[in-house]
A and B are shown apart, each in its own frame.
Chain A
Amino acid sequence: MYVAVKGGEAAIRNAHRLLADRRRGDRSVPALRLDQIVEQLGLGVDRVMSEGALYDRELAALAIVQARGDLIEAIFLVRAYRTTLPRFGYTRPVDTAAMLAERRVSATYKDLPGGQMLGPTFDYTHRLLDPELAEGSEVPEPELRDEAVEAMPRVSDILGGEGLIEPDGAMPAGHVTGDITREPTEFPMERDTRLQALSRGDEGFLLALAYSTQRGYARSHPFVGEIRIGEVELELEVPELDFPVTLGRIRVTECQMVNQFHGSAKVPQEFTRGYGLVFGQSERKAMAMSLCDRALRARELGEDITAAAQDEEFVISHSDNVQATGFVEHLKLPHYVDFQAELDLVRRMRAEHEAAHGGGERKEAAE
């Protein structure tokens, strides 16, 4: 028999009201404005855009406020919002070589065209808490250096000239670009589809997997060929115009990881690569993504699959934090009927057990 249970309506309503109150906090403290979050918590906004897989700074900021700063909850809100919008099409692929870069570093070449540009980085800071920030002191304007804009070819193109590094990843002719938002997930998965999943994957999960490859679980001897952060232009082909229309610019982070490779049955000795591209300024995520991309190419490169980071089904199926949080967190919702059934089952099995063993334990205890 199934008995539907009603109730809790008032409790839920009041819980939401309490949530709204706690979200606002002490009313004597000024309420946060979205532009404050966009401007001053920019990397949190970037993370929500990257894992929410939706580029819109104000929406990400709104999601962060609504989620009280719980970024996975904010990512969930952004994902839910995007399902309400129609899709106009696919942009032309962004050209990261033409990026208006704000940061560009290479760990493999000291002198390279376009130079090493540190940009707004935490690197080389002392990681000492700064009490002046707490006081809200004045911040000086950045230093300027007048110089002509220099072309910044990708490091992979420089190495590529010698033939020592594999070319950019190609897909077979006639391949239709995979899209995890349109097609059900199927394994084995093509590299393009995997990259889409990794790009929205949970930063913490990908970081841990990337770290595991460095600790020896699918070691790949990585070097950062290049990281660049900056703005790229988006263009869209539309039926009503004879030219691709410019939509504006978005900020992205790109990582080219270069990996030593001893060759295999399928591929001669050369450097191989892992690739990372994510929305916003998210260097750690782009690096982790490129390490995971490389590890997941084990099958393609004829390597033995020995570690979690190389297991496509394991990595891709568990990288999405909205899916993960949904399934883990649903356990707290009422399972009264399920549990009742389990309870009955355990009682019955115990009764059978006792009947079969004739209350042997008690007898033992009596002896």
Chain B
Amino acid sequence: MERRSERSDNMARKTAMAAFAMASAEDLRILGKEAGLVLDAKSLRGPETGLVTVRGRIGGGGAPFNTGEATVTRATVQLASGEVGHAYALGRDKEKVRLAAILDAIWCSPSGREVVDQRIVAPLMRIQAERDSRRHAEAAATKVDFFTMVRGED
């Protein structure tokens, strides 16, 4: 039972961290401010920029191979109350990653999770979902419909 709840906690945290990683620094700052959060913490590591080697799979599903590298920035911070937060995101935006790590630390605090989930993660995911569905609709409009020829026969 405890293991299951730890797993669902991990999933929820992973979702929140993913939402921060795909957001912009400005989104994080504005949403954090609107939620009344103090975005301040001690830095334990970084923010620092480095590389990850991106892997693909031979044939799409076979053995892994290294495709190339991507820039990634990461940070680890600690709140005055002791909670530690981490953040990783593609790109070189150190301020964004610092804010993301602080939000992660707040998410880990007993009182912080709900406010971060509701006031920051939820709106970020909504923005992302809207962006994705628009992208999909644009691409879907270029689908070839081989059956259009038989339309309008009445």
- A residues engaging B (CB < 8 A)? 49-50, 53-56, 58-59, 82, 85-94, 96-97, 100-103, 110-111, 115-120, 142-147, 149, 154, 156-157, 167-171, 175, 177-181, 191-193, 195-196, 199-200, 230, 234, 236, 238, 240-250, 252, 254, 256, 273, 275, 277-279
Assess the B60–A275 pair: CB atoms within 8 A.
Answer: yes
Residue in A100, A167, A275 whose Cβ sees the most chain B Cβ within 10 Å: A275
Assess the B53–A89 pair: CB atoms within 8 A.
Answer: yes
Known A100-B135, A149-B136, A243-B11; judge A156-B51 contact (CB<8 A): no
Q: How far is the CA of A31 from the CA of B139 in the complex (A)?
A: 33
Tell me, rounded to whole Å, the shortest Cβ–Cβ distance linking B127 to chain A: 14
Q: How far is the CA of A196 from the CA of B66 in the complex (A)?
A: 5
Q: How far is the CA of A93 from the CA of B67 in the complex (A)?
A: 9
Q: How far is the CA of A333 from the CA of B6 in the complex (A)?
A: 63
Assess the A196–B146 pair: CB atoms within 8 A.
Answer: no
Known A102-B135, A240-B76, A240-B86; judge A111-B63 contact (CB<8 A): no
10 pairs of A and B residues whose beta carbons are closest in the complex: A168-B62, A169-B58, A168-B59, A246-B18, A248-B90, A55-B70, A192-B65, A53-B68, A171-B63, A144-B137
Determine if B49 is an interface residue (Cβ-Cβ < 8 Å). Answer: yes
Interface string of B41-57 (1 = CB under 8 A from A): 00000001111111111
Known A56-B91, A243-B10; judge A93-B68 contact (CB<8 A): no
Tell me, rounded to whole Å, the shortest Cβ–Cβ distance linking A362 to chain B: 64
Q: Can you name the residue of chain B whose Cβ is closest to the Cβ of A141?
A: B138
Residue in B10, B59, B66 whose Cβ sees the most chain A Cβ within 10 Å: B59
Q: How far is the CA of A180 from the CA of B57 in the complex (A)?
A: 16
Assess the B49–A85 pair: CB atoms within 8 A.
Answer: yes
Assess the B59–A275 pair: CB atoms within 8 A.
Answer: yes
Interface residues in B81-117 by Cβ distance below 8 A to A read: 86, 88-92
Chain B contributes a number of interface residues (CB within 8 A of A) equal to 54
Assess the B58–A192 pair: CB atoms within 8 A.
Answer: yes
Q: Can you name the residue of chain B whose Cβ is closest to the Cβ of A250?
A: B70
The residue from A144, A157, A171, A249 contacting B134, defined by CB atoms under 8 A apart: A144
Determine if B151 is an interface residue (Cβ-Cβ < 8 Å). Answer: no
Assess the A90–B66 pair: CB atoms within 8 A.
Answer: yes
The residue from B61, B68, B86 contacting A168, defined by CB atoms under 8 A apart: B61
Residues of the A chain whose Cβ atoms lie less than 8 Å from the Cβ of B64: 93, 177, 192
Q: How far is the CA of A308 from the CA of B126 in the complex (A)?
A: 52
Tell me, rounded to whole Å, the shortest Cβ–Cβ distance linking B16 to chain A: 10
Residues of the B chain whose Cβ atoms lie less than 8 Å from the Cβ of A89: 52-53
Assess the B63–A192 pair: CB atoms within 8 A.
Answer: yes
